[in-house]
Every structure is written in C-alpha cells, then in structure tokens.
Amino acid sequence: MIEVLPPVLILLAAAVLIGLTRGQLRSAIVLISPLITLWAVWQVPDGVSMTVDFIGYQLEPVEGSALRRLFATIFSLMTFVGGLYAFRHASALELAASYAYAAGAIGVAFAGDLITLFIFWETMAIFSTAVVWCGDTPMAGRAGKRYAVMHIIGGVILMVGITGIAVQTGSIEIQAMRAVDFASWMILIGLLINTAAPPFSAWLSDAYPEASSTGAVFLSAFTTKTAVLALILLFPGEPVLIGVGIYMIFYGIIYALLENDARRILAYSIVNQVGFMVCAIGIGTQLALNGAAAHAFAHIIYKGLLFMSAGVVFYRTGKRKCTDLGGLFRTMPLTCVCGIIGALSISSFPLTSGFTTKTLISEAVLTEGFAVVYFLLAAASAGVFLHAGIKFPWFVFFQKDSGLRPKDAPWNMSTAMVLFALACIGLGVFPQPFYALLPYPVEYDAYSPGKVLFYLQLLLFSGLAFFLLLPAMKRTLTITLDTDWLWRICMKLLANTLLGIMTAVNEVFSRSTYLRFDTMRTWARRHWGDQGVFARSWPIGTTAIWISVLLSGYVLLYYI
C-alpha cells in the first residue's frame, strides 16, 4: 500500500545526485531538494500511508502524526539552511553524506515499526561517520573510528532489544512501553547512547569538533534529536529518564565550563540541552512532551546557528581554542551578532526561542509537583547562560584583542546564519503559531510577568557571577578527562598489559615445550637413530629368542 511519496526517498536521491553532479546543477540540487522534501513531509497524513511485507512482518515505512511531522519539518529546514551554509565550501562527498544522513533522520521520524526505525537509525550512523571523516585531518580520522565503534555498539544493543520485543510479543509496532524486562532495557539503552547520555556521551564531544566547519553544523542537528523523538514515541513517562536528564544537564554544564575549545564547548552544550528534553520525556505529561518536542525544534535552530558562527570563525582563522581568539567583533560583526542571538536563545532569554520552549518544560515539571527538579532546572538555566550564553561569545568575539583581523562570513554562510537568527527571534516573539504545531493542544502563556521577571533575575545574577569569576573562567591549554578515558586510555593500557603477559607466558611455554620435544628427539635418536639399539642388525638367534618371548607373553595374557 503506497498512498504518498516517502519524503526520505527525495533526500536519498538528492544525496546520490550530489555525488554525481558538479557546478550549478549540484548547487541547485542542494538547495531545492530539502524544500521539495519539506513539501512532501506535509503531504503525509495521520496514520500509516505505506506498508511492505518483510520476512513475515509488515513494515510501515511511512506513518504520519503531528509529532512526526514536526520533527521531519525541522529536519528538512535544517537540511536546507545547512546546505545553503555549506554548498560553496564543502566537498561533494561531504554534502552527499550530509544529505544521506539527513534522509536517515527523516526516515526515523516517519518509521512506523521498529525494524524500519533500526534501518534508518543505522543509515544515520553510517553517513554521520562519513561526515566526521570529511574533516580530513588525522584527528578527524581517529575520532570517526571511535564514533563508528560507539554507534555500532549502540546499534547492536538496540537490535538485541528489538529482537527480544519481536519474540516476546510477535509485534514490531512502535508503541509506548516501560523498561521492565531485558528487551525493553536494551532498547532504552540503545536510544540513550544516541542521546549522548553519560557514561556514553564522550563520542559527541570527541567527534563533532573534529568535523569540518560545515560538517559540524549537520552533525549538531540529527542524531541526538532523532533519539529524543524515539524516546517520546517509545518511553514517555519512564521515571528513570528524569534522573538521566538531570545528570546530562549538569554534566554538560560542568564540562563546557572547563573546556577551552570553542566547538567542544558547544558540543558539551548539546548534551546539556538534550538533558532538558530527556527529563521532560520522563515527566511524560502532554505538556511535558510538548515541551520536549518544542525544545528539540528550537534547539536544532539555535544550536545550528551557534555551530555556524563557530564554523565561520574556524573557517576564517583556522583556530578553535578560546585562548587563541578574541576581538573578532571588529571585523566579523555579522557573525558576532548571530552568535550572540544563538547564545541568548540557548540561555532562554525572553523574546528568543529558547525561552518559549524551555519554559514549557519548567511549567510541566512545576505542574506535576516536582519541586526539586524544578529548582534544579532553574539552576541549570543559569549554568547554560554561563557557558553558552556568555562564555562562548565573550571569549571568541570579545575578551582580549588576539590581533586576528579575518573577513566576515561569505554571503551564503551569512544568509544561513541570518535565517536561523530570525527564526530564533520569531519563535520567541510569536510562539503561538508554533505551539499550534505541537502534538497536543497547548494553553500556555510564556510571557506571564512573574515568569519573565524570574528568568531575567536568574540570567542577570548568573551574568554577574561570570564576570566576578572571570579569572577562573579563563581556560589554559589543559586536558579535561571524560568518561572516554576508560576505554581510550585505561582499556588500551589494560589490553597492552594483558598482551604483554600473554606474550611472556607464550614464550615460557614455547621454551618449555621446545625442551620437552628436544629431550624426546634425543631419546628417539638414541634408540632409533643410525647407531640406536633398535636400528642395529641383530643375529638371527637373538631375533628368534625375542620373538619367542613376545609370543609367550601374548599367549599368557590372552588366557589370563
């Protein structure tokens, strides 16, 4: 049954054509195909629109709903703006891989069964690894390998869970469940790996900063947000997600504050922001799920804007460390302004998109009576303002004069940043049309006086704390150990130690074995060699005597 054109096919076809074409034709494909995909997304009705029989199961590659269309919409918009940002600078391979990666995200958004979800999940893993490798540096190559290994592990865990569910229930339908048995826990863990939940979060801050200026923009948008969508569909109201989300929030803040690399600051900030969404999914009410979906939508925009701003700086200067930057507002005013708008949005500053979406989550938490969680989220909002709202723009564009005088962004990068900056402000100033797209009905006023005053006070005091503690905020050329130290360094040392022990044991065993065989060979040579006792010619009488003795012994044994 096929009722609509699957939107994923449009972007997959575009990815193939991008690799085969050149010049203006390739640019046209890059810019037009996401808009066609966006049109196709809004042609998908509610319910299942396509089914395929596969090894006894009925796959549902296209299932529509308000939630699925919302995520597919922002994935399509992100692909268009990301393509606009990248098409004059990225290689054909990177653009093709990025578009195939985006296609996988849209495939996950409309997947109506677990097998289809897994297929597109792994499609994303394959092509996102290629995007990391397109960073084309030794560091990108190594980070891409680690990224691939982590996602292979996550994919295997997810597949184990899906297989268990299929065996237990006979169904592969995507529906809400609880983590109550081995199979459901495997699915939950597989999804959390893609959200970058600790202790498996280091793959994100390891790989994303090593991608190219353009590749990092695409990477910031899809993997973690498709995991958020899958959690909304499969585990709404799962209590363990509240604790996981809170942990992610503060983990991201602490590591971002310790970081000196501008793009790693933004990478850790992704973990922090996804933590808000995971916590909301754990709450599980309609208002909380609306907040998670809305915040994911807004996050793709302002995080993409921040990565674009940082990408322009890296593209123009070749530098990423805060200690090497500063004073860039003089020659990069547009990039600076767009970066500040993204920073204010992620900090939930009133009249920006982050305020109108993050406060949905806070309201849901407060409504359900989770007072401790509410105050933790409020404190975390102040922490976000510290590391992303102030630290990133201050150290990159202001602080000291680094002496760098690079040009501002090229026209296509500038246009992409301006589009997302306008979207950040538009969603903040006019939230109601956006709320109408959310999966559940919304009756919520983001701009109540008390709420606005509370957040302004919170941001004001966190900003004051930043400048009072500015000497402590200045990072040096240090290395901050993350959980990946356990498998990148500790396990490597352990493996090398075990290998050394096994080699030594093998040498001892080999030497002992050689001595034994040498003794046996000497004994055999003494008895059967040229001069051995059994090799000599014996007189016929002696031979007859031995034959008689042996025959008598055999007869005696036989009768006994």
In three-state secondary structure terms, 474 is coil
Is 145 in the same domain as 119? yes
User: Do 358 and 272 contact (CB within 8 A), yes or no?
Assistant: no
Residue that terminates a domain, selected from 234, 255, 279: 234
Residue 162 is assigned to a structural domain of this protein: yes
pLDDT in tens, the chain (560 residues): 456 788 999 999 999 999 899 989 999 999 999 999 999 999 999 998 888 888 778 888 999 999 999 999 999 999 999 999 999 989 999 999 999 999 999 999 999 999 999 999 999 999 999 999 999 899 999 999 999 999 999 999 999 999 999 988 888 899 989 988 999 999 999 999 999 998 888 899 989 999 999 999 999 999 999 999 999 999 999 999 999 999 999 999 888 888 888 899 999 999 999 999 999 999 989 999 999 999 999 999 999 999 999 999 999 998 888 888 888 888 999 999 999 999 999 988 899 999 999 999 999 998 888 889 988 988 888 888 877 778 888 888 888 887 888 898 999 999 999 999 999 999 999 999 999 999 998 888 888 888 888 888 888 887 777 777 667 666 666 667 777 777 677 777 877 788 888 877 767 776 666 666 767 777 666 666 666 665 666 666 666 776 777 777 777 777 76
Q: Please identify, among 203, 234, 265, the residue that sits at the C-terminal boundary of a domain.
A: 234
Tell me the C-alpha distance between 122 and 163, whole Å: 16
Alpha helix ranges (H) inside 111-239: 114-133, 138-169, 182-195, 202-207, 215-219, 223-234
pLDDT attached to residue 76: 96
Amino acid 208: pLDDT:
92
Q: Are residues 188 and 228 in the same domain?
A: yes
The pLDDT assigned to 510 comes to 66
**Given this model, what pLDDT does residue 508 score?**
72
The answer to whether residues 230 and 243 belong to one domain is: no
Asked, for residue 267, whether it belongs to a domain, the answer is: yes
pLDDT for position 476:
62
Position 150: which residue type?
A: M
Q: Are residues 392 and 495 in the same domain?
A: no
User: For residue 125, what pLDDT is reported?
Assistant: 94
| 458 lies in the same domain as 511 | no
* Nearest-angstrom CA–CA distance, 363 and 280: 10
Domain boundary pick from 476, 510, 529? 476
Residue 429 and residue 292 share a domain:
yes
Residues 170 and 270 in one domain: no
The CB-side HSE value for 205 (13 A sphere, CA atoms) comes to 32
pLDDT 10s digits, 515-550: 667 677 776 666 666 666 656 666 666 667 767 777
pLDDT computed for residue 14 by the predictor: 95
Structure tokens that stand for 313 in this block: 């700086």
In angstroms, the CA 382 to CA 347 distance is: 8
> Domains in the chain: how many in total?
3
CB neighbourhood size of 479 (10 A): 8
Tell me the pLDDT tens digit for each residue of 413-438: 999 999 999 999 999 999 999 999 99
Q: pLDDT at position 311, please?
A: 93
Residue 482 located in a structural domain: no
pLDDT of residue 393: 87
Look at residue 481 and tell me if it is in a domain: no
Quote the pLDDT of residue 415: 95
CA distance 298 to 228: 13
Strands 47-54 and 57-64: antiparallel
**Residues 151 and 9 occupy one common structural domain:** yes
Could you tell me if 379 and 465 are in contact, meaning their C-beta atoms sit under 8 angstroms apart?
no
Q: Coil, strand, or helix at residue 529?
A: coil
Q: Does residue 32 fall inside a structural domain?
A: yes
What type of residue sits at position 177?
M
Alpha helices in 235-370 (DSSP H): 240-258, 262-283, 286-317, 333-346, 353-367
Q: What local confidence, expressed as pLDDT, does residue 472 receive?
A: 65
Residues 365 and 255 in one domain: yes
> 484 lies in a domain?
no
pLDDT score of 171 = 87
Phi, psi dihedrals of residue 477, rounded to the nearest 5°: -80, 70
Tell me, yes or no, whether 84 and 198 share the same domain.
yes
Answer yes or no: do 93 and 184 share one domain: yes
Question: What's the one-letter identity of residue 335?
Answer: T
Is the domain of 538 the same as that of 413? no
Q: Per the domain annotation, does 114 fall within a domain?
A: yes
Whether residue 454 is contained in a domain is answered as yes
Taking a C-beta distance cutoff of 8 angstroms, is the pair 304, 420 a contact? yes
Give the domain range for residue 435. Answer: 236-476
Long-range contacts: 39-46, Cβ < 8 Å, 24+?
A: 40/4, 40/5, 40/6, 40/7, 40/10, 41/7, 41/69, 41/72, 41/73, 41/76, 41/106, 42/69, 42/73, 43/4, 43/5, 44/4, 44/7, 44/68, 44/69, 44/72, 44/110, 45/3, 45/4
Q: Name the residue with tokens 């020659």.
A: 331
